[in-house]
């Protein structure tokens, strides 16, 4: 499907500089653009490519001032990056506009499905589920008994939703996710063995949540593990039982959250962050990659780094000395030896 510069500008409420009738049918990075593709320029580091790109249309910030002739048709918008993201979302909707229930899928008894639902080949949907309008369940996905998938949610191939999982509107669950598996609950016994504690709770995922590939979210021991509205989880994240993640919090890959930890809203965690169990993280906290958090952080908007995590300013000041620790240790040893010599001579 082709779109003209005028159609794109109308959709973005942008202004055109060039030919409004040129059309594109694909997207490309500005440095790799070719005829018929749409690109964007938001980062000044890539400005040089706008003079050489083969892209037919380029979205730019409203204040962009070219220093050389530009062959592409420009569409000026207040924020080129956000505008391009909107277009990519629209483009993806066209690509994934599948509907229908495959004859090779399985849908259990007492399960209801809304309009324009897609259930692909070899997908399994259990009994007594509620599948709302425009939900897409891709091939080989598993949706257990009693699950609820609200409007517009997408479950990609190979994702597994255990029984009772509740997912809100317009969520994206990527391939290989496991939602609702048992929490890590074992009671030590007198004979040094461990008795499994049944995990009888569920997982609740609110609206507009995106969960990356191969991320796992454990069901609660009692009650619910809760992922609040707008949360974005990267690939390969572990969320343990009874964790609660606040609205619009984002986490990068390989982060691990131990059981019963409560995380505030609008937090940002870098890759490989680790949190101990039964702690509380305030709203707006930012944790640098590989931070290890063993106790609650109660300061709103705190920025922490290191393991154990300390305030970013403290960490930076301490890091100046990290690479000199060996020299400092030798110096201290020399001073101790001198002190011992002086003491013996008295």
CA angle 261, 263, 268 (to 5 degrees): 130
> Token pair 């011992």 is at which residue?
340
Distance of alpha carbon 257 from alpha carbon 21, whole angstroms: 52
- At residue 30, the 3 state secondary structure works out as helix
Q: Which amino acids are annotated catalytic? A: 241
Q: HSE (CB half, 13 Å, CA atoms) of 247? A: 2
CB contact set of 27 (below 8 Å; sequence gap of 6+): 37, 38, 39, 87, 88, 91
Q: How far is CA 217 from CA 176, 204, 242, 244, 325, in A?
A: 12, 10, 10, 11, 41
> Would you tell me how many other CB atoms lie within 10 Å of the CB of residue 323?
8
> Token pair 């930012």 is at which residue?
286
Distance of alpha carbon 163 from alpha carbon 51, whole angstroms: 55
Structural element, H or E, at residue 119: strand 118-119
CA 252 to chain centre: 6
């Amino acid at each position: 499907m082709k779109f003209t510069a005028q159609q794109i500008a109308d959709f973005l409420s942008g202004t055109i500089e060039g030919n409004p009738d040129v059309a594109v049918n694909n997207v490309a990075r500005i440095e790799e653009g070719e005829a018929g593709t749409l690109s964007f320029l938001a980062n000044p580091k890539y400005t040089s490519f706008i003079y050489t790109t083969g892209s037919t249309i380029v979205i730019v910030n409203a204040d962009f001032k070219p220093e050389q002739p530009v062959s592409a048709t420009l569409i000026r918008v207040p924020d080129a990056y956000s505008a391009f993201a909107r277009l990519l979302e629209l483009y993806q909707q066209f690509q994934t506009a599948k509907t229908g229930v495959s004859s090779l899928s399985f849908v259990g008894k007492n399960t209801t499905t809304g309009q324009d639902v897609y259930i692909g080949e070899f997908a399994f949907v259990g009994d007594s589920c509620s599948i709302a309008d425009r939900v897409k369940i891709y091939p080989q996905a598993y949706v257990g008994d009693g699950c609820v998938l609200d409007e517009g949610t997408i479950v990609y191939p190979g994702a597994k939703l255990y029984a009772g999982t509740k997912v809100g509107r317009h969520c994206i669950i990527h391939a290989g996710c496991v939602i609702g598996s048992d929490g890590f609950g074992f009671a030590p016994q007198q004979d040094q063995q461990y008795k499994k504690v049944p995990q009888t709770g569920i997982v609740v995922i609110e609206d507009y949540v995106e969960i990356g590939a191969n991320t796992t979210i454990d069901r609660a021991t009692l009650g619910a593990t809760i992922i609040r509205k707008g949360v974005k989880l990267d690939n390969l994240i572990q969320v343990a039982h009874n964790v609660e993640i606040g609205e619009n919090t984002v986490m990068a890959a390989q982060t691990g959250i131990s059981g019963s930890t409560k995380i505030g809203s609008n937090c940002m965690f870098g890759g490989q962050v680790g949190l101990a169990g039964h702690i509380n993280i305030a709203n707006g906290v930012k944790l640098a990659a590989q931070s290890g958090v063993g106790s609650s952080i109660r300061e709103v908007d705190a920025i922490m780094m290191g393991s154990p995590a300390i305030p970013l300013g403290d960490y930076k000041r301490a890091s100046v000395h990290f690479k000199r620790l060996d020299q400092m240790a030798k110096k201290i040893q020399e001073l101790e030896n001198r002190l011992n010599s002086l003491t013996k001579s008295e």
